[in-house]
Amino acid sequence: MDNYKELWRCDECREIHDDEDGARECCRPSVTELYGCLDCGVVHDSEREAEQCCGVFEVRCTNCSRDYKSIDINAKAIQITGHCTVCNPLFTLDDRLAIEDMHYLETGRTGDVRLGES
């Protein structure tokens, strides 16, 4: 699961496009392929920079083998309880509060572990 998306920049007017055809048709120049971080929206020149942006990495649930980004609330659930909300949605109140607190402290975003949303 990649943490970035491919973008293209019109080399004439420097406008960034979501699709290569749009960039090519913009001013009819050559285009440059770029990579945009899906979490913060920063545009990078290389795929490697985009992969490393925001310090995001994959976390795999040990029960169901689903992959989550490290900034997802399910990653925190896996770190604390050993399973995600999809394969086992049951958590003690203490675990739920610990997961939601850890998620908020690390990402600055509120989340609800009962819904698996962050």
d(CA 110, CA 83): 20
- pTM greater than 0.85 (yes/no): no
Of 47, 68, 64, 43, nearest to 56 by C-alpha is 68
Q: Which residues contact 55 (CB under 8 A, 6 or more apart)?
A: 70
Q: What is the pLDDT of residues 45-61, one digit of tens each?
A: 888 887 777 667 788 99
Q: What is the pLDDT of residues 60-99, one digit of tens each?
A: 998 998 988 888 889 899 999 999 988 988 899 999 999 9
d(CA 77, CA 114): 11
Given the structure tokens 């009962």, which residue do they identify?
114
Q: Is 80 exceeded by the pLDDT of residue 40?
A: no
- Please give the structure tokens belonging to residue 85: 């909300």
CB 111 within 8 A of CB 91: no
CB 37 within 8 A of CB 28: no
